[in-house]
Amino acid sequence: MKRRRGTMRRERLDRGIKVRTDSVYAVSGWPEMAYLALPRLVLILGLLAAPFIFYFNPYWQRVLSIICIYALLAMSFDFLAHFVGLVSLGGAFFVGVGGYTAALLNTELGLPPLLTIPLATLIGAGLCTLLLLPCLPLRGVYFAIVSLMFPLLASRIIEALNILGGTDGILGVDGFASKWVEQYVLILAVLLVLFGLRRLAGEDIGLVLRGVKDNDQAVKASGLNITTYKAIAVFIASAMGCLAGACLVHLYMWSGISQFALDFSILPIAATVIGGVGSLVGPVLGCLILVPISELLRDFGTLRIAVYAVILTAFIVFRSEGLMLYGSRKYHQFERWVEF
Amino acid sequence: MEIIIYGVVNSASLALMALGFTLVYGISRLPNFAHGALYVLTGFATWLLLNRLGLPYILALTGATVLIGLVGAAMYRFILIRIRGMAISEIIASYAIGLALLEGMRWGGLKGATFILPAFAEGSVSVLGVSVDWQRLILIGVGAVLVGLLFLFVHFTRVGLALKGMAQDERAAMTLGIDSDQMAVVAMALGAFFAGAAAVVLLPLGNIVVESGYNVLIMAVAVCIVGGLGSWTGAILASFLIGFAQILTVVHLGAHYQVVVALLAIIITLILRPSGLFGRQKELEERV
């Protein structure tokens, strides 16, 4: 149909399967079940099959692992920013703490990677939560700035005091037993975190956390301690960051101050913005797009940072909705042109 | 004596770095995280004008500084204005622009030790028994002159008064016919101009390197947070506080700790008193 400007507008209608609110559906048969399950299955099966797809290409298998690491970080950012209202610009801090913890556990105590990763996740998350605890009452811009300072401070202190291997970092960390273990640990972690967090957001605690984001005074007035809930949220988010950091250290068999570098703070944010904020799937999608781009640009050195900074700016300024929300709107709604 | 003189020099350079940042935040509430990038960009532009086009030094300096003012204005007018008022988007977008500028410059050839601007005047003089090179003295002078000019501009010109009005109460300013978008563009141009001015007096003291962009940003943020975001008196006071603290740590602990002092100052200030020494924010806006 030819559209005439000015007299037509696009009308959007929800599909009949969707009942009133988001995520409540009236399903009446297999086709509709399939309609709902399809996007989820594509993601799950796609990720699980990916190591086989790149079977003959070890380089891209490694890229897949890195995608998963960034996806964990991006989901951690998304969870904190859009489910709790704490915008953390210092995702690199979680990576660094988790990475150094895993490296120390491995080299000093000689624990195997499959033991150091869960331990580093828990210990690192505890440490991060403890260190961020005094900053939790801060709101908005103030929390963002203070969280940006943490990774910078950590790397400068390691440099200045020359502890933890100083600028050389900790060498001689064990790698994964095989690349299959490496990839499936990461892929399963991403899927588990993704669906776990979506579940969590629907539970009581998820409601309280969203309340903290929307109106913390109201939550306070209901007799709940905001700081406790924020601390729980930071623990969850930093656990994801530390998990990513620990895997990264075993992936590169090395831990150093570059783990506090800006890459780990800015790329997850870019992925979240591109993929769609507040959806948790969006960040994963964003990483699936951004990380390969950044790998393809590796030959151009620092140009890749410039490129994803430009992409990030363009999305945040011109398309702040993100790909995921755009896509799900197209999937769940009819569109047609009507005259008015 | 050395501590006092170098403390003053260090404080003046911190104040120069922070002035543009606090100006923009004070007027349009935009935390301009591209500040450090604008600083380095000026240095690079000056170097290009000086060495590629062969302009005389003084012309290259003024040209680059004015150019950077325009770049700042364009950045605000075409990009940042669309997300005005969304604090987090503003931080992320301006930071991303800064990152793109800095890493773009690094890719475009700004690395290594070949990028040096000549000092305004060679040699050094002895002040109260301590030898200080001319560049550092000029730096203090330029800092004082810029602060003075800014004061006069804000108190005695129409545009300056409009800016001040907007900083105090944007809605009231709008009812009096002040176009807040236009003023925000002017503020951003001024802020970028000050970043440029800081760059041309500070960069002859060392090489032009991309990393200094990040350091300048950290220092500007540190000074502004300790002084109170958007407060000029606070910023100047805080730059003296941090400036002397840094010199003392260099003397007693070592140069490595210089940045650690600034970062710790930010974190401690934010935890204890987020609005800083002279901030005007409401308690409830900043913490629960």
Percent of chain A with pLDDT strictly greater than 70: 95
Residues 89-118 on A with a CB inside 8 Å of B are 89
Residues A142, B228 contacting (CB under 8 angstroms): no
A42-72 pLDDT, tens digit each: 989 988 888 888 888 888 888 899 999 999 9
- Residue recorded with tokens 């990380």: A291
> What is the distance between the alpha carbons of residues A218 and B112, in angstroms, rounded to a whole number?
55
Question: Would you state the pLDDT for residue A1?
Answer: 47
Q: Which of B103, B257, B267 sits opposite A149 (nearest CB)?
A: B267
8-state DSSP, B282: -
Query: Per residue in B181-192, pLDDT tens?
Result: 888 898 899 999
- B interface test, pick of A263, A302, A315 with most B CB neighbours within 10 Å: A302
B171, amino acid identity: R
- The C-alpha atoms of residue B17 and residue B139 are separated, in whole angstroms, by 12
Instruction: Indicate the pairing of strand B124-127 with strand B130-133.
Output: antiparallel
What are the tokens at A228? 């406790």
Beta strand residue intervals within chain B, DSSP E: 124-127, 130-133
Dihedral over alpha carbons B248, B254, B255, B260 (to 10 degrees): -80
Examine the pLDDT at A236 and tell me if it is beyond 90.
yes
Between residues A103 and A256, the one the model is more confident about: A103
Out of A75-79, A170-174, A251-255, the most confident range is A75-79
Distance from CA of B129 to the nearest CA of A (A): 32
Tell me, what's the ipTM? Answer: 0.80
Q: What is the pLDDT of residue A73?
A: 93
| Minimum distance, in Å, between the CA of residue A137 and any CA atom of chain B | 5
CB count within 10 Å of CB B108 equals: 12
**Cα dihedral sign, B32-B33-B34-B39:** positive
Q: Are B45 and B52 in contact (CB under 8 A)?
A: no
Q: For residue A300, list chain B residues with Cβ-Cβ distance below 8 A.
A: 107
Split at pLDDT 50, 70, 90, the class of A244 is: very high
Give the nearest partner residue to A156 out of B31, B260, B266, using CB atoms.
B260
For residues A98 and A249, what is the distance between their CA atoms, to the nearest angstrom? 9
Per-residue pLDDT, A95: 93
What is the number of alpha carbons within 13 Å of residue A107 lying toward its C-beta? 18
Q: Residue ranges per domain, chain A?
A: 8-339
In the predicted structure, residue A338 carries a pLDDT above the cut 90: no
Q: How far, in Å, CA of B132 to CA of B139, rounded? A: 11
Residue A206: pLDDT over 70: yes
Calpha distance A44→A38 (Å, rounded)? 10
pLDDT of residue A23: 63
**How confident is the prediction for chain A on average, in pLDDT?**
85
Predicted confidence (pLDDT) at residue B103 exceeds the cutoff of 90:
no
Whole-number mean pLDDT of chain B? 83
**Model pLDDT for residues B33-63, shown as the tens digit of each residue:** 899 899 999 988 888 888 888 788 888 888 8
> Is the CB of A132 inside 8 Å of chain B's CB atoms?
no
Supply the pLDDT for residue A127: 93
Q: Cα–Cα distance between A306 and A115 in angstroms, integer?
A: 38
- The pLDDT, as a whole number, for residue A245 is 92
Residues in contact with A169: Cβ distance below 8 Å, sequence separation at least 6, in sequence order: A254, A255, A256, A257, A258
| Torsion angle of C-alpha atoms A207, A209, A211, A215, degrees rounded to 10 | 180
Q: How many CB atoms lie within 10 A of CB A33?
A: 13
Contact predicate A10/A333, CB 8 Å: no
Taking the Cβ of residue A172 and every Cβ of chain B, the question of whether any pair is shorter than 8 Å is answered with no
Q: What is the dihedral of CA A36, A42, A48, A53, to 10 degrees?
A: 170
* Residue B260 CA: distances (Å) to CA of A145, A160, B7, B164: 15, 9, 17, 34
Contacts of B89 (CB under 8 A, 6+ apart): A316, A317, A320, B83
pLDDT digits (tens, 9 = 90+) for A316-327: 888 888 888 888
List of chain A residues whose C-beta atoms are within 8 Å of the C-beta of residue B88: 81, 87, 140-141, 144
φ, ψ (nearest 5 deg) of residue A10: -90, 130
Position B281 scores a pLDDT of 58
Instruction: Please tell me if residue A300 touches chain B, with a CB cutoff of 8 Å.
Output: yes
Residue contact A89–B91, C-beta within 8 A: yes
pLDDT at B282: 56
B124: its two tokens: 């050094």
The domain A8-339 having CATH identifier 1.10.260: the answer here is: no
pLDDT category at B92 given cuts 50, 70, 90 is confident
pLDDT of residue A229: 92
Is the pLDDT at B10 greater than 50? The verdict is yes
Highest mean pLDDT among A116-125, A207-216, B86-95, B239-248: A116-125
pLDDT of residue B287: 57
Identify the closest residue of chain A to B273 by CA–CA distance: A138
Question: Nearest Cβ partner of A309 from B79, B100, B256?
Answer: B100
Instruction: Determine the distance from the C-alpha atom of residue A82 to the mean position of all C-alpha atoms in its chain, rounded to a whole number.
Output: 12
Q: Which residues in chain B are closer than 8 Å to A220, comparing Cβ atoms?
A: 288
Compute the distance between CA of residue A239 and CA of residue A260 in angstroms, rounded to an integer. 16
Residues 151-170 of A with CB under 8 A from B: 152-153, 156-157, 159-160
- What pLDDT band is residue A20 in, cutting at 50, 70 and 90? low
Strand locations in B69-163, DSSP E? Answer: 124-127, 130-133
Domains and CATH numbers, chain B: 2-286 (1.10.3470)
Q: Does residue A83 surpass a pLDDT of 50?
A: yes
Q: Chain B: give the shortest CA distance to residue A130, in Å.
A: 14
In the three-class reduction of DSSP (H, G, I as helix; E, B as strand; rest coil), residue B65 is classed as helix
Return the exposure string of A46-80: e unless at least 16 CB atoms fall within 10 Å of the residue's CB, then b. Answer: ebeebbeebeeeeebbbbbbbbbbbbbbbbbbbbb
Of the pLDDT bands very low, low, confident and very high (cuts 50, 70, 90), residue A190 is very high
User: What distance, in Å, lies between the first and last C-alpha atoms of chain B?
Assistant: 45
Facing residue for B96 by CB, picked from A142, A146, A309: A309
Q: How many CB pairs under 8 A join A and B?
A: 125
Q: How confident is the model at residue A22 (pLDDT cuts 50, 70, 90)?
A: low
CB contact under 8 A, B256 and A159: yes
Helix (H, G, I), strand (E, B), or coil: what is residue B113?
A: coil
Query: Measured between alpha carbons, how far is residue A238 from residues A132, A246, A317, B56 in Å?
Result: 10, 12, 28, 54
Does residue B280 register a pLDDT over 70? no
**What is the C-alpha to C-alpha distance for residues B126 and A289, in angstroms, rounded to an integer?**
60
Is-contact B31 B167, C-beta < 8 A? Answer: no
Q: How far is CA A199 from CA A25, A192, A195, B58, in A?
A: 16, 10, 6, 64
What residues of chain A lie within 8 A of the CB of B96, using their CB? 266, 270, 309-310, 312-313, 316
Distance of CA A297 to the CA centre of its chain: 22
Instruction: Find all residues with CB under 8 Å of B24, minimum gap 6, and list them.
Output: B30, B32, B35, B187, B188, B190, B191
Nearest to A313 among B96, B256, B288 (CB): B96
